Amino acid sequence: MASFEQGHLTTDPETLDVEWFEILPIGDPIANILEPKQLTPVLNDCCEALVDISTSFNCAQAYFDAGWQHSMKQTYLRSGTAQRLHNVNESLPEGFSIFVFDGWRPLTLQSELFEAAYGDANLPAGFLAEPSEETTLPSPHVSGGTVDLTLSYRGSPLALGTSFDNFDERAAIMAFEQVDSIIRRLRRLMYSSMRRQEFIVYSGEWWHFEYGTPRWAAITGRPGCYQIAEFPQVRSDPDQGRRGDSP
């Protein structure tokens, strides 16, 4: 049975034999993100292709391994978003790298995840975006401009206060901002590195960053560039394609 449980993907940084306070600066404060009341439609798609980033980044294949029907083994992003993420990776201090949980989602997977998550009536709104078939207002991941990620240190992907897809208030990007801690310093490092490449974090999920989406456009006041992204061509080997049927 498919599951949102992803705790096995990451390690609590405090369990590692690392002098974190010696190698991590305090860092600049994370800006409090005010979520927009309305999204800004993306009127023109920039037509960047979806590219497989699995060969250039360490990727978890999180939903594929968790058994979701419409998941994919590869991880895709728009080419411009992938380049920005590469720039982030190159900018990180020695020993650190980006570890990717998820990128582009087909609309079928977004629907599958949303329906499963909100089968729980007690789950607060916002953890999973409602699937949208409207071309100019795609769900963030369906646009190809959204990536879920964490920092990895010397090969160990890190849990920055919670595991990935943990529907808990501690997942909020500001949850650890009040008191200096290892988690705060790591979150600040990741946040500042992503902001330099113009990514916008989602306030409720420390791992979720967007570029060029309707939400990104609403927050930055700039035109978005990604509408619904089309499914890319993949090899016919079933281990390299979708878990479910192709569109």
pLDDT at 242 over 50: no
User: Across the strands, what pairs with 215?
Assistant: none
pLDDT at 118: 74
Residue 222 contacts by C-beta under 8 Å, 6 or more apart in sequence? 216
CA-to-CA dists, residue 184 to 1, 29, 53, 141, 172, angstroms: 34, 9, 28, 26, 12
DSSP 24: S
pLDDT at 103 over 60: yes
pLDDT at 247: 34
pLDDT at 239 over 60: no
| Phi (first) and psi of residue 87, to 5 degrees | -60, -40
Strand, coil or helix: 59: strand
pLDDT at 167: 82
pLDDT at 241 over 50: no
Q: Which residue has the tokens 């005010």?
A: 34
pLDDT digits (tens, 9 = 90+) for 180-235: 999 999 999 999 999 999 999 999 999 999 999 999 999 999 999 999 998 764 43
> In terms of Cα–Cα distance, which of 213, 230, 199, 232 is closest to 53?
232
Q: Name which residue leads in pLDDT, 97 or 234.
A: 97
pLDDT at 133: 84
pLDDT digits (tens, 9 = 90+) for 127-181: 677 778 899 999 999 999 999 999 999 999 999 999 998 888 999 999 999 999 9
pLDDT digits (tens, 9 = 90+) for 33-85: 999 999 999 999 999 999 999 999 999 988 888 788 778 889 999 999 999 99
Q: What are the sequence ranges of the domains in the chain?
A: 25-240
Contact 130, 214 (CB under 8 A): no
Q: Does domain 25-240 have CATH number 3.30.1380.10?
A: yes
Structure tokens at 179: 């008191």
pLDDT at 4: 64
| Pairwise CA distance, residues 162 & 204, whole Å | 12
| Pairwise CA distance, residues 155 & 38, whole Å | 39
pLDDT at 122: 64
| Phi (first) and psi of residue 33, to 5 degrees | -85, 125
Q: Which residue has the tokens 């411009």?
A: 80
Q: What mean pLDDT value characterizes the chain?
A: 89
| Pairwise CA distance, residues 175 & 143, whole Å | 27
Q: Name which residue leads in pLDDT, 2 or 145.
A: 145
pLDDT at 6: 72
| Phi (first) and psi of residue 217, to 5 degrees | -65, -40
Strands (E), the chain: 50-52, 58-59, 76-78, 96-102, 146-153, 156-157, 200-202, 205-210
pLDDT at 216: 98
User: Across the strands, what pairs with 128?
Assistant: none
User: pTM here?
Assistant: 0.89
| Pairwise CA distance, residues 152 & 159, whole Å | 9
